[in-house]
Amino acid sequence: MPLTLQNKRALVTGGSRGIGAAIVKRLAREGAHVALTFVSKPEQANEMVKAAHALGVKAIAIKADSADPAAVIGAVERTVAEFGGIDILVNSAGVLSIAPIDKFSLKDFDRTLAVNVRAVFVATQAAVKHMKEGARIINIGSCNAERMPFAGGAVYAMSKAALVGLVKGLARDLGPRGITVNNVQPGPIDTEMNPANSDFAEMLRKQFMALPRYGTTDEIAAMVAYLAGPESGFVTGASLTIDGGFNA
């Protein structure tokens, strides 16, 4: 089968584990050269690079904390320097802090906005300087942008809701240049941070899910691959929810 992303050049922030790692592998499988960022655990990042190399593409790991704007810009510039340009930006890095409003620290508030919102803007601003017609920007949002059914998640929900407005505006900015920008909004996904075999997961399945299971990281990666590929050229400014009916 043809490789839909052959020789495209991608940067996936937060690409060493969880949803980000699945995205790296899927883009590489479709033929894209992939750079990924990580904050800690370089061994995981290096394993992802090896996995991408095994699929016959170029890959690099870049240590960059998304809370640091200079590090985010540096990751984009390193990607461009290594691959000769950038065609796909996937803003996957994110943080989650849960606490009642009267106990939510300002430090956690600031970091949530720095990673989940500001870093997306900074990476996008840096990347579009090098992007040409047909380029793709894809953010990993959350179904919680539209529904937060339990206490303690107000700040997280706000940060993901901000991406909805951001992509609507960016679609207008970048549409004349032929660059699309979209959100993917996962629901409960089986990851190290949110395992499907926990008591919390069991509660979600029973009370909130239309499909009584967690999603997989590969299912999210498939949606990202679609948005990164040629068949999605008329999709922009959208927030596409893949949540097993959590928001239904």
Query: What is the C-alpha end-to-end distance of the chain, expressed in Å?
Result: 35
Catalytic residue among 27, 122, 155, 156: 156
Q: Return d(Cα 141, Cα 164) in angstroms, integer.
A: 8
Which of 236, 4, 245, 214 is CA-nearest to residue 143?
A: 245
Collapsing DSSP to helix, strand or coil, 4 comes out as coil
CA 241 to each of CA 129, 146, 160: distance values in angstroms, whole numbers, following the listed order: 29, 10, 12
Give the side-chain half-sphere CA count within 13 A for 148. 15
**For this structure, is 214 an active site residue?**
no
Q: Which residues are catalytic?
A: 156
